[in-house]
Amino acid sequence: MSEDIFGIIMIVIVVIGCCVVLPLMVIWLINKRKNHEIDKKTEVLMALLEKNPDLDPVEVMNKLNMSQETNNKTLKQKLLENLYGGLMMTLMGLVILVLHLMGMVSFGSKAIGLFCGGVIMAIGLAFLIYYFVSKRVLRNELEAEEKRIAEQKISE
């Protein structure tokens, strides 16, 4: 009886860790990195303005942002990565479910195999939904980004 309670408690701890703590830590780390980037840009801008008070702060910030953009992925690339991840996770979950139901792969009990395959497939479907919703919502931004990239290629 005590082993059953211990097992249930361990499953609850793992689920809470994966479904609550892990996403919160990822969001916290992303925000911390963005704040660090902003702080670094501010330091650079302040140092430039102290050395050359005649500089236009807006122009300097635009140049800092332009150099930053060349290293980042475009919005379209990010969306395509979500599409790729969604397709891969959905297919992996589907394969795990089918193989487990056919008896070719065993995870101990039927419920564990169905749970693992279902969770992986649900994550993949979430990525796919995110891709299609983002594509629809960010349609104008994607078109503007494509025009900007085309103009940059023409000017080069």
Q: Rounded to whole angstroms, how far apart are CA atoms 140 and 54?
A: 37
pLDDT value of position 122: 93
Residue where a domain stops, chosen among 54, 72, 90 = 72
pLDDT in tens, 60-89: 777 766 555 445 678 888 889 999 999 999
25 lies in which domain range? 1-72
Kindly report the number of other CB atoms within 10 A of residue 9's CB atom.
Answer: 10
Q: Is the pTM of this model over 0.85?
A: no
Query: Nearest Cα to 68, choosing from 47, 44, 37, 32?
Result: 37
The answer to whether the CB of 57 falls within 8 A of the CB of 49 is yes
Please indicate, yes or no, whether residues 35 and 78 belong to a single structural domain of this protein.
no
Please indicate, yes or no, whether residues 98 and 50 belong to a single structural domain of this protein.
no
Residue where a domain stops, chosen among 30, 52, 72 = 72
pLDDT in tens, 101-148: 888 877 777 888 888 889 999 999 999 999 999 889 888 888 888 888
Please indicate, yes or no, whether residues 39 and 28 belong to a single structural domain of this protein.
yes
Residue where a domain stops, chosen among 72, 92, 116 = 72
If you ran DSSP here, which 8-state letter would residue 73 be given? P
Share in percent of the chain as helix, strand, coil (round to 5): 90, 0, 10
